[in-house]
């Protein structure tokens, strides 16, 4: 494969497209279900231990879950729970 060194190469420093915690949970949940795991148990194991092997690599779920810190994901879960149970006042 030869290159034309007269052309300018373009280097992209932009980050990967952002993904919301909600989208991460949805994708990870779906991947765990597809592989036959109990998503709640697997996510709890991940949150308690920090061990990413609780999350399947199927559908890139392990990479996705690690895009945010565990505390950020837990914060999102608590916020969702509070908002949906009238405790956000």
What does the pLDDT look like over 1-60, one tens digit per residue? 566 677 776 766 666 668 899 999 999 999 999 999 999 999 999 999 999 999 999 999
The range of the structural domain enclosing residue 57 comes to 21-84
> Any idea what DSSP says for residue 77?
H
The answer to whether residue 25 sits within a structural domain is: yes
- Mean pLDDT of all residues belonging to the chain: 88
The answer to whether residue 12 sits within a structural domain is: no
The answer to whether residue 6 sits within a structural domain is: no
36 Rama class: left (phi>0) / alpha (psi -120 to 50) / beta: left
Distance CA 30, CA 79 (A): 21
Global pTM? 0.76
28, 39 contact by CB (below 8 A):
yes
The answer to whether residue 89 sits within a structural domain is: no
Domain count, the chain: 1
pLDDT at 72: 92
88, 80 contact by CB (below 8 A):
no
The answer to whether residue 29 sits within a structural domain is: yes
Distance CA 88, CA 84 (A): 8
Structure confidence by residue, pLDDT tens digits, 63-78 = 999 999 999 999 999 9
């Amino acid at each position: 494969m030869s290159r034309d060194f007269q052309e300018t190469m373009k280097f992209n420093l932009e980050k990967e497209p952002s993904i919301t915690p909600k989208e991460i949970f949805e994708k990870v949940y779906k991947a765990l279900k597809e592989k036959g795991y109990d998503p709640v148990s697997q996510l709890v194991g991940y949150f308690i231990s920090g061990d990413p092997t609780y999350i399947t690599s199927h559908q890139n779920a392990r990479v996705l879950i690690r895009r945010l810190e565990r505390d950020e994901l837990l914060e999102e879960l608590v916020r969702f729970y509070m908002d949906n149970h009238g405790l956000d006042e």
